[in-house]
């Protein structure tokens, strides 16, 4: 899909350190595709609510899922405004002063609305969420049955507008602080997977599935250094 730009508006414009703002889909979708956990917020009866949940992206659409009895999903299904946030932490930025200490990060803020999906799109949404979490797992595991589908709600989030904010690089201390005898620099953050632990209830001795092998091999998905 060709790179596009979300027009700046009062809603999505980065106002604090605007040079860190990005509005192109290459940056925004690139961040989204490097993670699977988001925080979704909305307002109900004047009270803000926020929940962490998994998502799956398919083009301009993000799929969310949860219990069919979830209050949050029920509220969101009526099309009310929502805000969805994804953050990747890349490193701690340790400055000579506490004030200038920071983090290198990549974050996306999405504004949009959701609709409940059923039928083929519901199954497709579940597939996209599963594959976002661990690629290849959908084909290895049993598909949802009718009872499980009934107990699960799937929402499709339409992205109305979005922006990304990215910080990279070393500390930016005050000029007079550079002579201080204080170590300063960047402490990279890397999140990965340890050795798989088989379910003790397994009745057969089975090799690791390819989806798990891919995640535990350090040479695979090398760009996904921050989950």
Q: How far is CA 210 from CA 45, 130, 173, 220, 227, in A?
A: 46, 15, 46, 11, 19
Q: Please give the full DSSP string across the chain, using - where no structure is assigned.
A: ----BPPP-TTT---SSGGGEE-BHHHHHHHHTT--EEEEEEEETTEEEEEEEEEEEETTEEEEEEETT-HHHHHHTTT--EEEEEEEEEEEEE-SSTTT-EEEEEEEEEEEEEEE--HHHHHHHHHHHHHHHSTTHHHHSPPP-HHHHHTEEEEEEEEEEEEEEEE-SS----GGGTTSS---EEEE-----------TT--S--PPPHHHHHHH-TTSSTT----
Percent of the chain with pLDDT over 90: 92
> In this model, does residue 218 exceed pLDDT 60?
no
Give residue 227's pLDDT band: very low, low, confident or very high (50, 70, 90).
Answer: very low
> In this model, does residue 155 exceed pLDDT 90?
yes
> In this model, does residue 223 exceed pLDDT 80?
no
pLDDT of the residue at 221: 46
pLDDT of the residue at 60: 93
18-91+102-168 belongs to CATH 1.10.1840.10: no
pLDDT of the residue at 1: 62
pLDDT of the residue at 19: 95
Pairing outcome for strands 152-167 and 102-116: antiparallel
Q: Per-residue pLDDT tens for 38-51?
A: 999 999 999 999 99
Q: What is the mean pLDDT of residues 106-126?
A: 98
Give residue 219's pLDDT band: very low, low, confident or very high (50, 70, 90).
Answer: low
């Amino acid at each position: 899909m060709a790179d596009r730009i979300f027009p700046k508006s009062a809603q999505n414009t980065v106002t604090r350190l605007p040079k860190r703002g990005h509005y192109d889909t290459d940056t925004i979708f690139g961040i989204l595709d490097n993670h699977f956990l988001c925080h979704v917020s909305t307002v109900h009866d004047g009270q803000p609510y926020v929940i962490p949940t998994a998502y799956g992206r398919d083009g301009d659409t993000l799929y969310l899922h949860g219990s069919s009895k979830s209050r949050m999903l029920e509220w969101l299904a009526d099309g009310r405004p929502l805000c969805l946030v994804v953050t990747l932490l890349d490193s701690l930025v340790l400055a000579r002063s506490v004030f200038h200490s920071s983090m290198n990060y990549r974050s996306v803020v999405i504004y949009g609305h959701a609709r409940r999906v059923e039928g083929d799109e519901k199954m497709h949404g579940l597939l996209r969420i599963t594959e976002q979490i661990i690629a290849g797992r959908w084909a290895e595991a049993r598909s949802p049955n009718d009872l499980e589908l009934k107990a699960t709600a799937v929402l499709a989030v339409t992205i109305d507008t979005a922006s990304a904010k990215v910080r990279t690089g070393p500390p930016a201390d005050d000029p007079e602080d550079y002579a201080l005898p204080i170590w300063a620099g960047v402490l990279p953050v890397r999140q990965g997977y340890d050795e798989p632990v088989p379910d003790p209830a397994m009745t057969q001795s089975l090799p690791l599935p390819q989806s798990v092998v891919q995640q535990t091999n350090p040479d695979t998905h090398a760009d996904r250094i921050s989950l």
